[in-house]
Structure 1
């Protein structure tokens, strides 16, 4: 499948599907710092690649993350979210064990709920600007 002219073109389909996702940490605990957000973004990009999707924009604050994902029509948003949350939770717990444990998040890293908003009518540039404007925690030394 080729991606060109802002449209994804396949043998039998032409599409341009975007979803704005928001994942919140369990109990809305402020866990993230800049390094954790960077690691989370790398992992989420890899998961998107595995689905044939593309992470267009990513940012977050200390207790939640925003993603703008362009995805193919064969992928269901719920399956993509399940994988994004599962893989990132395992990676973050393994790589940042002490920070996750200090936040007293027992069992799950992410809240079981999530926000998924179709980006069909909103200009993608406006969504990207909104996500870029999140108050990312400053890097720790």
Structure 2
């Protein structure tokens, strides 16, 4: 084959430190837009960014030369700095240390997109912790509470 081809789509999820509800519905769109802007600037393709009061979901396509952990670092660092500088009442804001990264097939991308867009409705009946455990279980990831909720 003369060239390289790739389709590397990920569903990334992480929460605020201690799952504190920092993101009021008023500021959510601004934070999601900022995260999408960082992704675009760093040569990622943001397909959908959303979340709820205490966490974010990003559906992204990554270039083949950018590993997932570096992508998360490129998103978390600048967004945290921007949040501190933009929202004076959020000086104590922090992201959690870890994250979840789940691959997404092309055929399931629309489903994940819709899932992210419907976070408010979804979290009327389920906490972030319940949601995240479902992702870990569905993807057959072994986990221990002390390493997830630390």
State TM-score, norm by structure 2: 0.73
Whole-angstrom distance in 2 between the partners of 1:57 and 1:13: 25
CA shift digits 1:96-125 (9 cap, x unpaired): 121x24xxx4xx610001111111376111
Q: How many aligned residue pairs are there?
A: 121
1:132 aligns to 2:117 (yes or no): yes
**Correspondences of 1:77-92 after superposition (within 5 Å):** 77-92=68-83
Match of 1:111 among 96, 115, 136: 96
How big is the shift at 1:127? Answer: 0.7
1:74 aligns to 2:65 (yes or no): yes
Unaligned runs of 5+ in 1: 1-10
Match of 1:95 among 79, 83, 86: 86
Whole-angstrom distance in 1 between the partners of 2:22 and 2:10: 25
Normalized per residue, the structure richer in helix is 2
Unaligned runs of 5+ in 2: 124-150
**Correspondences of 1:29-40 after superposition (within 5 Å):** 29-40=20-31
Whole-angstrom distance in 2 between the partners of 1:119 and 1:77: 13
Is the CA contact (8 Å cut-off) linking 2:16 and 2:94 kept in structure 1?
A: yes
Q: Could you say which residue in structure 1 is the equivalent of 2:17?
A: 26
Root-mean-square deviation (CA, aligned residues, Å) is: 2.1
Q: Could you say which residue in structure 2 is the equivalent of 1:8?
A: none
